Amino acid sequence: MISIDGLSFSYDKEFGLEIPNMIIEDNYLHVLIGPNGSGKSTFAKILTGMIRNYSGKVAIDGTDITKLKYDTLSKKITYMNKRLLRDYNISVYEFVSFGRFPHKKTVFFELNSEDKDKIFHALENVDLNNKWDKMLYELSDGEIQRAYLAKVLCQETKYAILDEPTSNLDLKHIKDFLDLLVELKKKITFIVILHNINEALTVFDKLIAFNDGKIDFIWNGIEDFNLQKLKNLYNIPLKSFSNNEKYIVYF
């Protein structure tokens, strides 16, 4: 469990993030939504230790993350950004192997048999085991995102933050990727930033809406759906359709 208590952070008085309290629950798929600049990515950077000059307390499994060294924290939580790695001149296997880095004592390390087994197991989990020797630039956008997810699995963290992982993907690859997250949440607690509301509504266990550096509302299941809250959040007229199991939101 990740607990947030009295979190406060600001950029030179221009932007502030204020979260009085919140819980990230184990084996839940948490989805963060909200307008651009509302605090989602800032919150993600705080959780991963990239931002530390805040007040309040953020604790992973009871331990204040500011008390953890970066290598220790990186064994607990990882961050997958939205930048595709098409320009990297390395193989899929080499890229996924970077996930083993936090478990090594030096920058210059050799992969042992256990590391190699974990790499191939991660590739198998995301259905890339037949492309382990391909270069990243040879992969489709969807395959690159799955390679990123394999690296996350290989790192063996309990928590993973994914920043807009479905951007640049077509509908099939979006569905495949989201289905994979639902399957893998048995092993990893996900915190996923999404801009597509319908994608968010499809997969979330807990939906957290950010607005102007604050938590606007939290839904703990689709039964909490409230169209008016979404209208207010994005300040646009919206409509919705429901079949009693899922909601679709449209303009």
Length of the chain in terms of residues written: 251
As given in the structure block, the two tokens for residue 204 are: 């979330």
Helix (H, G, I), strand (E, B) or coil at 157: coil
pLDDT digits (tens, 9 = 90+) for 218-231: 999 999 999 999 99
User: Which residue shows structure tokens 């953020």?
Assistant: 58
Please determine, for residue 247, whether its predicted confidence score (pLDDT) is greater than 90: yes
Please determine, for residue 133, whether its predicted confidence score (pLDDT) is greater than 80: yes
**Could you tell me which of 79, 27, 84 has the C-alpha nearest to residue 48?**
79
Determine the pLDDT at residue 102. Answer: 85
Q: What average pLDDT does this structure show over 189-205? A: 97
User: Which residue shows structure tokens 């640049």?
Assistant: 168
Q: What is the DSSP letter of 117?
A: H
Q: Where do the domains of the chain lie?
A: 2-76+157-250, 84-156
Q: Which CATH superfamily is domain 2-76+157-250 in?
A: P-loop containing nucleotide triphosphate hydrolases (3.40.50.300)
Q: Which residues pair with 15 in a beta bridge?
A: 11
